[in-house]
């Protein structure tokens, strides 16, 4: 059977709506809409038999994970794992798309054209994000070899995990639609299988490319 990996992108925040880069800034929780959408997702997953919920340490992910935990009536606490944290680009944190494009025009062009080449002070590269996320998955495979685990994380992290496990080019993550409060399922067999991509229990409004890719 192997590890059945259920990946959830955190619920929407006000900063998502503002097209503002959240990064790893503390204290950014879900909006009212995000709370409702996450609760709806949780209600739709009650038939699943999860052995654990693992979460990025960012507040928006932890809020999402705890709502899902309550919906699923799991007794064990949510496990925080830095390997599923947001892509770390400190210099962009708190800035809107327009502000980033204005203040970092060259880097922004690289980000849009080939994010693998993006290099900024004190920031992770996309390859480093991929490396730590894959290590996280490998550890889950060892700990839960034949079980279903729910991981709450971020758009980029989910995208690079899907691309890496399926042997796709890393930059293809930008072509994957991964909405807030959505579910993606990968069965981690010897040859991993994508069972579900970007499923959600409620209709979501169209959101900007930047808001969809930076949270």
Is residue 104 domain-resident? no
Question: Residue 214: its pLDDT value, please?
Answer: 55
The pLDDT tens digits along the chain (215 residues) read 789 999 999 999 999 999 999 999 999 999 999 999 999 999 999 989 999 999 999 999 999 999 999 999 998 999 999 999 999 999 999 999 999 999 999 999 999 999 999 999 999 999 999 999 999 999 999 999 999 999 999 999 999 999 999 999 999 999 999 999 999 999 998 899 999 999 976 544 333 333 444 56
Q: Which H or E element spans position 80?
A: strand 79-80
Is residue 94 domain-resident? no
Is residue 96 domain-resident? no
> CA torsion, points 4, 205, 175, 147, in degrees to nearest 10?
0
Question: Residue 1: its pLDDT value, please?
Answer: 72
Is residue 26 domain-resident? yes
CA gap 41, 11 in Å, rounded = 10
Residues 164 and 134 sit within 8 Å (Cβ to Cβ): yes
Q: Tally the domains of the chain.
A: 1
- Mapping DSSP to helix (H, G, I), strand (E, B) and coil, where does residue 53 land? strand
Is residue 57 domain-resident? yes
Residues 6+ apart with CB under 8 A from 148: 4, 6, 48, 49, 50, 51
Is residue 168 domain-resident? yes
Q: How far is CA 195 from the centre of its chain?
A: 17
Question: Residue 205: its pLDDT value, please?
Answer: 38
Residues 11 and 63 sit within 8 Å (Cβ to Cβ): yes
* pTM, to two decimals: 0.92
DSSP-derived secondary structure for 99-115 = HHHHH-HHHHHHHHH-G
Distance (Å) of CA 9 to CA 34, 114, 118? 11, 23, 23
Is residue 47 domain-resident? yes
- HEC-encoded secondary structure of 149-205: EEEEECHHHHHHHHHHHHCCCHHHHHHCCCCCCCEEEEEECCCCEEEEEEECCCCCC
Question: Residue 125: its pLDDT value, please?
Answer: 97
CATH of the domain at 82: 3.40.50.1240
CA gap 11, 63 in Å, rounded = 8
CA gap 171, 84 in Å, rounded = 18
- Indicate if the alpha-carbon torsion angle 160, 163, 167, 169 is positive or negative: negative
Is residue 78 domain-resident? yes
Sort residue 197 into left (φ over 0), alpha (ψ -120 to 50) or beta: beta
Question: Residue 139: its pLDDT value, please?
Answer: 97
CA gap 50, 53 in Å, rounded = 7
Residue 151: which domain range? 3-88+128-213
């Amino acid at each position: 059977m192997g590890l059945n990996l259920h990946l959830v992108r955190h619920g929407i925040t006000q900063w998502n709506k503002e097209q503002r880069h959240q990064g790893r800034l503390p204290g950014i929780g879900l909006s009212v809409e995000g709370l409702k959408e996450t609760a709806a997702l949780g209600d739709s997953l009650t038939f699943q038999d999860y052995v654990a919920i693992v979460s990025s340490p960012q507040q928006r992910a932890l809020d999402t994970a705890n709502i899902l935990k309550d919906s699923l009536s799991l007794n064990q606490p949510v496990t925080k794992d830095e390997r599923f944290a947001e892509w770390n680009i400190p210099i962009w944190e708190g800035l809107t798309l327009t502000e980033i494009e204005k203040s970092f025009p060259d880097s922004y062009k690289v980000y849009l054209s080939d994010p693998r080449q993006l290099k900024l002070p004190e920031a992770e590269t996309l390859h480093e994000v991929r490396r730590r996320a894959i290590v996280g998955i490998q550890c889950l495979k060892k700990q839960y070899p034949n079980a279903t685990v729910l991981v709450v994380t971020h758009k980029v992290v989910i995208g690079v995990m899907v691309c890496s496990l399926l042997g796709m080019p890393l930059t293809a993550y930008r072509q994957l639609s991964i909405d807030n409060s959505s579910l993606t399922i990968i069965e981690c067999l010897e040859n991993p299988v994508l069972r579900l991509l970007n499923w959600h229990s409620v209709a979501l409004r169209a959101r900007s490319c930047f808001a969809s890719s930076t949270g």
